[in-house]
């Protein structure tokens, strides 16, 4: 129920889940992981560790690594960064992004009024939702050099279909991490959106970003550090699931995707 999300202590509940997900008590973590696998029909045959008893905690299971053969990285120069479902995609017109039917939000709001937001005002976007059963590591969709990153504090509404269709400016309201990369396509923005029980995000270059939760935007400048990441390399992960939004600077390279399509990390987007 959407109205309930407006009144519950979103960050406090997410802190509780953060702690629960790291409990290493054998009976508790094994019981919960077993229940989760059965309830959400998780395919553990793809994981490096197929036995639930081999995980130290629920979060260790949730951020599990896959066997190298489980995902093939396309030879094309633009690939899907995650497993999930395409909730929206299309042109960014007049700096406006489609959230759901009759609900839009602006590039500037999503990016926390970053001075580079104007570069995507006539670009292209894709929003991909990661369900609980999905693989939750995030990989590079292209070769890129990391320029900067912004942590933007905010709410922690759910990002499921019902909430996306019912809460205005959802992705521009929720806590998020925005990564900027220089690529062969130009400057690209990659947004990790937090959600209820997903109050923890991390990147390979910065480590855990939340918690603790901050009240102000934090800017990280990497322009002089020469951090290069290759297509298909792990770039970060959600400690619990959520949504990623890809922003491209032009409408030349449109993704070969459809709304509601189920996607897998590594598949070609061109």
At 110, give phi and psi (nearest 5°): -60, -40
Closest of 192, 195, 177 to residue 240, by C-alpha: 195
**Helices and strands counted in the chain (H then E):** 7, 15
Catalytic residue among 57, 126, 242, 253: 242
Catalytic residue among 11, 14, 57, 83: 83
Closest of 260, 120, 114, 98 to residue 168, by C-alpha: 98
At 72, give phi and psi (nearest 5°): -105, 130
At 250, give phi and psi (nearest 5°): -145, 175
Indicate if 83 belongs to the active site: yes
Catalytic residue among 134, 139, 143, 150: 139
Query: In the beta sheet, which residues pair with residue 238?
Result: 201
Query: CA-to-CA distance for 254 and 268, rounded, in angstroms?
Result: 12
Query: CA-to-CA distance for 158 and 165, rounded, in angstroms?
Result: 11
Query: CA-to-CA distance for 261 and 270, rounded, in angstroms?
Result: 15
Indicate if 242 belongs to the active site: yes
Query: CA-to-CA distance for 6 and 166, rounded, in angstroms?
Result: 12
Query: In the beta sheet, which residues pair with residue 128?
Result: 86, 244
At 261, give phi and psi (nearest 5°): -70, 135
The pair of structure tokens assigned to 46 is 């793809």
Collapsing DSSP states into helix, strand and coil, what is residue 261?
coil
Query: In the beta sheet, which residues pair with residue 72?
Result: none
- The catalytic residues are 83, 139, 242
């Amino acid at each position: 129920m959407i109205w309930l999300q407006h009144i519950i202590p979103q960050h406090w509940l997410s802190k509780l889940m953060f702690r629960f997900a790291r409990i290493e008590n054998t009976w508790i973590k094994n019981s919960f992981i077993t229940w989760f696998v059965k309830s959400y029909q998780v395919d553990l045959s793809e994981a490096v560790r197929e036995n639930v008893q081999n995980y130290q905690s629920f979060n260790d299971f949730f951020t599990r690594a896959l066997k190298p053969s489980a995902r093939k990285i396309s030879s094309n120069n633009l690939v899907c960064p995650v497993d999930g479902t395409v909730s929206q995609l299309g042109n960014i017109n007049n700096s406006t992004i489609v959230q759901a039917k009759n609900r839009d939000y602006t590039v500037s709001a999503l990016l926390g009024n970053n001075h580079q937001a104007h570069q995507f005002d006539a670009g292209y976007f894709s929003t991909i939702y990661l369900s609980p059963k999905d693989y939750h590591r995030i990989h590079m969709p292209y070769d890129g050099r990391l320029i900067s990153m912004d942590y933007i504090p905010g709410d922690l509404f759910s990002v499921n279909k019902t909430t996306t269709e019912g809460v205005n400016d959802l992705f521009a309201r929720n806590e998020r991490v925005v990564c900027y990369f220089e690529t062969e396509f130009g400057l690209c923005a990659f947004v990790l959106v937090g959600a209820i029980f997903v109050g923890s995000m991390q990147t390979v270059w910065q480590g855990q970003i939340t918690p603790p939760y901050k009240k102000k935007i934090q800017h990280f400048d990497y322009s002089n550090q020469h951090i290069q990441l290759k297509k298909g390399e792990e770039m970060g992960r959600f400690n619990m699931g959520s949504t990623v939004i890809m922003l491209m600077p032009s409408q030349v390279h449109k993704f070969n995707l459809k709304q509601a399509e189920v996607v897998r990390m590594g598949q070609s987007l061109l």
